[in-house]
Every structure is written in C-alpha cells, then in structure tokens.
Amino acid sequence: MGLSCLGVTALLLSGCAQGSGAASSSSGSPAEETTPSAKEVSHLAPRAVVSYDGGLLTVDTESGEVVEDTKEDGFLRLNNAGDGRHMMVSDGDRFRVFDTGLEARAHGDHFHYHESAPALTDRAFEAPHAGHVVAHAGATTLFGDGDGSIQTVEWPALRGADGGAVERKKAQAPHHGVALRLTDGSLFTTQGTEAERHTVQVLAPDGSVRAETTDCPGVHGEAAAAPGTSTDTVVVGCENGPVVYRDGAFHKVPVKDAYARSGNLAGSEASPIVLGDYKVNKAAEHERPTRVALFDTRNDTHRLVELGSSYWFRSLARGPHGEGLVLTYDGKLAMIDQNTGKITQRIAVVEPWQEKEDWQQPGPAVKVAGGKAYVTDAEHRKLHVVDLSAGTVVRTVDLPHTPVELAVTTGRSEVPGGEGHGD
C-alpha cells in the first residue's frame, strides 16, 4: 500500500476549540491553582510516583522519603503530562490530574524552585476507556479508546488556569488509538475500528488530510524524534515495520520479516533515532523477544540489536544523550549506543525476573529524568536510582507497597515547546 499526502476533507473527524476551562468534568475553579503550602527551595529533588493496588505513592528520590500515600481504588495507569509537574492518571473512563508539587519557574536567566504537597486534584477529563497520553509541543493529548475522543490540553489547564485551552476532536470510530498535536497546529492521529486499524493521518486544523498512510496494520504506539527540515518527526509502530512522519509525508521503514511488530517505542526529541521492541512471531500469545530495533528517522532504516536476554514493554527508555536503555530478564540495564548499536554497559540493578502472563500484574519499570534512571523492583518492593554516567545504583528506596507503574517529575518541562508510549 502506498504512502501519500492528501488534500481531501476528513469527513468523520470534527472538533472545536474551547477557549478556557480546565477540564470536561472539573469541579475546580477556573482561576489558576494556588498552593498556599508551596515554599521556595534551593533545588528540586525529583519525585517518583508509583501506582500500587490501592493508591499512589510519591517518593522523594534523594531522601528516600515517602512524601505522600494517596489512597485510591482501581488499576491506575501513570503518564507524565510533560510540564514537569503534573501527571495524568488513567482511571477507567477518565483521565485525572495528579499534582506532584514540583515547579521550576523561569525568571530571566535562572529559575526559582517551588515545592508543595502532592495531591490527586479534582480536575478530570472524561474519556471512555481512557488510553494513550502524549506530551508534545507544550500540550498533552488524551485518547479515549471507547469513543475515539481526542482532547488536547494546554498545560495551564492542568493547573485550572485561565487561558488554558482544551481542544476536542474525534476519530472516525472508537479504537485503541493515539494522537498528538504537532507544532504547526495539525493533528497526528490513528484511524480504525475495534476490529481493525491500519491508518495514520495528519489533519490540518480545518479537518482536511495533509498526509496519510494505510500501510500500518495493527498500528500502536508512537514516539517523537528530532524534527525534520520542515515538520515534526513522529514514528508509529505497525505489524510490518513502522512508519515515519517526516517533512510532511509518511515513509515506510522496510523490514525483512513478514511480521515485525514494534508497538512500543522510546524516542528523544533531541535524537533522530527511535528505540523500539521487535516481535516476529504473530502466533505467539506472549513472545519473549531478545532483540530491539533502532529506527533512523532520517533515512527510514533500522538496526537490530541482540541483547541476549528478553524484556517487556516497561523495559524501554532513553538516556540523557540518546542512549537506548533496556532492562532485561537478567536484571541488568543494557545501555546501547544509538549510533552504532553496540551495548556499552550492562548495569546490574534488580534480581533476575520474568514477565507475568497478565500485563497488569506488577513487574519492573524504567523511567529516566536527567542523568538518572529510576527502576522499580516489584518482587522486593524497591525503587532503585541509577547514575547513568557512573553506571552504578546510587540509592535504593524501600517501598511500603508493591509498585506497578512508575513516573518521575523534576519540575521542568520534559519535551521541547514549553515539552512522549507502548502496550
């Protein structure tokens, strides 16, 4: 199936922008959130938020202190909102805003640092089967799998601030999808149904199709890379090799395998290389791959890297210099040179482990903030802090509950533009 740029109208995707208002179902004030308990501090210690069966733990990663234990029922999924302060908690049929209490406020050529108590706020965005969350270009886009809803939330709206717009659009049909707003105001989105999905589009603000590919069966997951010469660059996973949106058009990455699924991608907007999983057994219920792929968005090529040990969808991350990071079953964090594909370090972090049959059951997760990697050990209720430059575990925090999902904030925006996902 060919890839093309189209100028036709997207008849089944419509939307409207709402000038202000924090959320579709928020009971909070539209005025900017105030935190009387906020205090100015000399620096901000990154805070890790860990979900568990029964709530959310917020941990000061320098002192090891559990700053807050927020009780909340249900299976809670965590995603950074991108502004460095807030997280989106996927809770059934809504996205809820969690405030980690860290904020670095720019002041001329320096920052002022403010710290307050973390809290699950009353701001929420209704979305049946709340799914993917993508932060890009100063906004956070939320996708509702149950109705195909797409909500792009500008960051002031996360605080309940005036001027924080929430733009609402809808895909042609409900499906397990993903979307993000690009820097030129266009919308990158998947299209499909609950039974089948293979289409990715870039839509102009008026709904017309700027670019489209239908050659992406089982489309799943996305990652932004370093921008091209004229547009953002975004990679999306498919079952026959990914596609790259670059300079206004989609480009297919050719692969040798008839089935080659890369549905979990880790990108860096400072790098043209995207790290992804690589599965080749379509019939396997739980394939345990030992290879990852490095996709070069500049020329639509890829390089396979043999790790010698398997991994799962929460194993992938990127280092501060674009390094590929993969936590493998042997308990080691493999560091991959993005340009050569060579494994430069293997850092022992956790005991050997294996993915459980149900993806919702606790297992290790990896996140990166600054020069540190944060790794959970579900079997032993621990959070490890890894100094990537030294290649050592510099701190281990004992947790009172078994960790499931993990996110880390520092107070500073995490993506360019103000400032992306897997199974």
Q: Is 5 a domain residue?
A: no
**Which among 4, 10, 32 is positioned nearest to 20, based on CA atoms?**
32
253 CB-side CA count, 13 A: 33
| pLDDT recorded at residue 138 | 92
Q: What percent of the chain has pLDDT over 90?
A: 80
The encoded tokens of residue 310 equal: 């398997």
CB atoms within 10 A of CB 32: 13
| pLDDT recorded at residue 36 | 52
| pLDDT recorded at residue 42 | 82
- Distance, in Å, from the CA atom of 405 to the CA atom of 369, rounded to the nearest integer, reads 16
> Rounded to the nearest 5°, which phi and psi values hold at 78?
-120, 135
Quote the pTM value.
Answer: 0.90
- Could you tell me the pLDDT band of residue 170, with boundaries at 50, 70 and 90? very high
Q: Is 265 a domain residue?
A: yes
Q: With a cut of 80, say whether residue 154 has pLDDT above it.
A: yes
Q: Is 175 a domain residue?
A: yes
Q: Is 417 a domain residue?
A: no
- Could you tell me the pLDDT band of residue 161, with boundaries at 50, 70 and 90? low
Question: Helices marked H in 157-200 — which ranges?
Answer: none
Q: pLDDT by residue (tens digit) across 380-415? A: 999 999 999 999 999 999 999 999 999 999 999 998
Q: Domain range spanning residue 155? A: 39-409
Angle at 376 between CA 372 and CA 381, to 5 degrees: 135
* CATH code of the domain in which 300 resides: 2.130.10.10
Question: What integer is the mean pLDDT of 172-176?
Answer: 97
Residue 285 carries which side chain, given as an amino acid letter? E
Q: Is 6 a domain residue?
A: no
Q: Is 81 a domain residue?
A: yes
Q: Is 206 exposed, middle or buried (0-12, 13-18, 19+ CB in 10 A)?
A: exposed
For residue 402, what is the DSSP state? -
Q: Is 31 a domain residue?
A: no
288 alpha-carbon distance from chain centroid: 22
Mean pLDDT for the chain? 89
Q: Is 109 a domain residue?
A: yes
The encoded tokens of residue 117 equal: 């108590």
- Distance, in Å, from the CA atom of 72 to the CA atom of 67, rounded to the nearest integer, reads 16
- Could you tell me the pLDDT band of residue 34, with boundaries at 50, 70 and 90? very low
- Distance, in Å, from the CA atom of 131 to the CA atom of 189, rounded to the nearest integer, reads 13
- Could you tell me the pLDDT band of residue 364, with boundaries at 50, 70 and 90? very high
Q: pLDDT by residue (tens digit) across 334-345? A: 999 999 999 999
Q: What percent of the chain has pLDDT over 70?
A: 89
| pLDDT recorded at residue 183 | 96
> Rounded to the nearest 5°, which phi and psi values hold at 166?
-125, 110
* C-alpha distance from residue 9 to each of 214, 216, 337 (Å): 16, 21, 43
- Which H, E and C letters describe 303-336, residue by residue? EEEECCCCCCHHHEEECCCCCEEEECCCCEEEEE
CB atoms within 10 A of CB 105: 11
The encoded tokens of residue 245 equal: 């949106």
Q: With a cut of 90, say whether residue 6 has pLDDT above it.
A: no
Name residue, tokens 């999902």. Answer: 405
CB atoms within 10 A of CB 113: 17
3-class SS at 45?
coil
Domain count for the chain: 1
Collect contacts of 321-325 with beta carbons under 8 A, ≥24 apart: 322/268, 322/270, 322/271, 322/273, 323/388, 324/266, 324/273, 324/275, 324/292, 324/294, 325/266, 325/366, 325/368, 325/373, 325/388
Name residue, tokens 């929460």. Answer: 314
Q: pLDDT by residue (tens digit) across 109-126? A: 788 889 999 999 999 999
With contact defined as beta carbons under 8 Å apart, do 120 and 98 qualify? yes
